[in-house]
Amino acid sequence: MAIKEQIEWLRAELHRHNYNYYVLNAPVISDKEFDDMMRQLQDLEKEHPEYMDANSPTMRVGSDLNKDFKQVYHKYPMLSLGNTYSESEVSDFYERVKKALNEDFEICCELKYDGTSISLTYEDGKLVQAVTRGDGEKGDDVTDNVKTIRSIPLVLHGDYPSFFEIRGEILMPWVVFEELNREKEAREEPLFANPRNAASGTLKLQNSAIVASRKLDAYLYYLLGESLPYDGHYENLQAASQWGFKVSEHMKKARSLEEVFEYINYWDTERKNLSVATDGIVLKVNSLRQQRNLGYTAKSPRWAIAYKFQAERALTRLNQVTYQVGRTGAITPVANLEPVQLSGTIVKRASLHNADIIDGLDLHIGDMVYVEKGGEIIPKITGVDKDARILVGEKVTFITHCPECGSKLVRYEGEAAHYCPNETSCPPQIKGRIEHFISRRAMNIDGLGPETVDLFYRQGLIKDTADLYQLHADDIKKLDRMGQKSADNIIQSIESSKQVPFERVLFALGIRFVGETVAKKIAKSFRDIEELEHADLNTLTGIDEIGGKIAQSIISYFQNPVNRHLIERLKAAGLQFSRSEEDLSGYTDKLAGQSIVISGVFSHHSRDEYKAMIERNGGKHSGSISGKTSFILAGENMGPSKLEKAQKLGIRIVDEDEFLAMLS
């Protein structure tokens, strides 16, 4: 046998045995025979580098060379799922889907694995890229590290599409996690809090040889591409399992709400017997066509929801309640607790949220309280053991004045939180707004953090965000823990932030209720900050996903002369307060001034795609029919109430083909 043929034969055999062992759990050769074949292949590849292959089984051992990760944009955004902890909200989700589709549908029930999300791209049956979730739009390219995970195929078999993406969860099995923590404990190193953190931390290591030693696992749960074999999500994953992917055998299709609850109730107990961590159930509409028609909200798909299992809870003593002031002035009460072990971590503090929560719990200092982690992340107090209440201290009552500046607190109608109204002089609010402004997802000013902001504020160098652009290296280098190099780096990073696009500048301003997603929507709807500043309530609420609460907050922000003056200073400093020419390309005024309602089920594009088309062509999408509605873009199964109202008001009905012709 020729050398090249021998190498290719060894690779094919090792891929096959790897799949048998790590995916099927059905090895047909011994570990020694596998290792002998691997060593033979390594030797041949070393002697004949001209036959190198990036997807050879030898790549799974990793490299000890450190490598920086580059950022990669996802072809399809990786959105998060809406979470629920109650069966009533699962019922609400089911009924919403039923009403929106107005046709039969199936729900695919899956275990929600508690690891770190990954997106894998395959071309001609070979793994070409692995990218972390990141911020949902872009993530880190961790392909070399992922190649060390033996349950992820490097080369596929069977009848697969020529190009597709598959997503899943990278996990650290319990037995590997416990062994890793035993080793760390022996070396007197800090322990990992849970398998999720361990898997995430491992995947981001720059040394892939260490990643290989950590024995990560993976389950794949979603297939994307232009030429998938089936319309059914469940059926596509069954096909993917035939190509070599590790897909959960515990997936099940449900044809009724009762079957959904049967699945949830079974796994609420049985999950504790699994070899990897799970924290809930994911429910997805099975048909991809129906998924497209249901579309997305600003943050998550309308066709899926995650039901989270109830969190672990512990009993401990309440020692004290303190209060924190946020950047919006919101006052958050914090319970200081006797340290207690909970879900793998030591908990010393827990949020009490607001005055109503405190009153509802009837808290006293010294009470024995139940603590749990909401979503197993943020500790919170959920109850009091009143039978253990002996010789406790005074009742906990919410403060009336700001603990930082002494201003009398206010509580706005319809709000649960209390606020310090002293926006311009309350130090935590000022520093909080600056910290938000410089954060990575906003202006991304490196070299500055909470401690540096606090130092600059105390030294009188900055009192607001615009002051950052008046700083000089000479002002900074003489401060504690600074120097010429640090000062130069900070000034350079501040200068670079002037190139941050309009949408992120809007987010950085810290307008209440305007997060990243809303800022992007606004930036696409207005050419510049002046146009936004003069927008009225109707114009703002005409933007997809922006309701009255957000719109009123934006209007209030621009009505404040302090904020308008701040923006003028930031504009003078050179920040981007308008859309770039590149952003404006592809936009037309074909639908300018028109308010359009979308109703029904479509075949050419999804609802979200039609919303984007309307906005790109100068129109406004509206969720309800009124006398101001220009026309209704109607698909099949248009809601009867909307049709009746449209006929009553004499509003024109436009079908898909006519609408697309209007834009062509």
Amino acid at 70: K
Pairing, β 378-384 against β 331-342: unpaired
Q: Residues 32, 67, 75, 112: which is the catalytic one?
A: 112
Instruction: Give the residue among 2, 57, 203 at the shortest CA–CA distance from 120.
Output: 203
Instruction: Report the 3 state secondary structure along 539-591.
Output: HHHCCCCCCHHHHHHHHHHHHCHHHHHHHHHHHHHCCCCECCHHHHCCCCCCC
SS3 357: helix
Q: Which residues of 336-372 are buried (b: 16+ CB within 10 A; e: fewer)?
A: ebeebebbbbebeebbbebbebbeebebbebbbbebb
CA count, 13 A, side-chain hemisphere, 113: 27
**Angle at CA of residue 372, ends 299 and 349, nearest 5°:** 95
Query: Cβ contacts of residue 56 below 8 Å, gap of 6+?
Result: 11, 41, 45, 154
Which residues have a Cβ under 8 Å from the Cβ of 249 and sit 6 or more positions away?
A: none
Strands 345-351 and 313-325: unpaired
- Asked if 281 contacts 342 with a C-beta cutoff of 8 angstroms, the reply is no
Indicate the length of the chain as a whole number.
664
List, as one string, the DSSP characters of 426-475. -HHHHHHHHHHHHSTTTT--TT--HHHHHHHHHTTS-SSGGGGGG--HHH
Q: How far apart are CA 107 and CA 282, in angstroms?
A: 10
Q: Active-site residue 112, yes or no?
A: yes
DSSP 8-state assignment for residue 401: B
Q: Which of 595, 640, 641 is nearest to 615 (CA)?
A: 595
Active site residues: 112
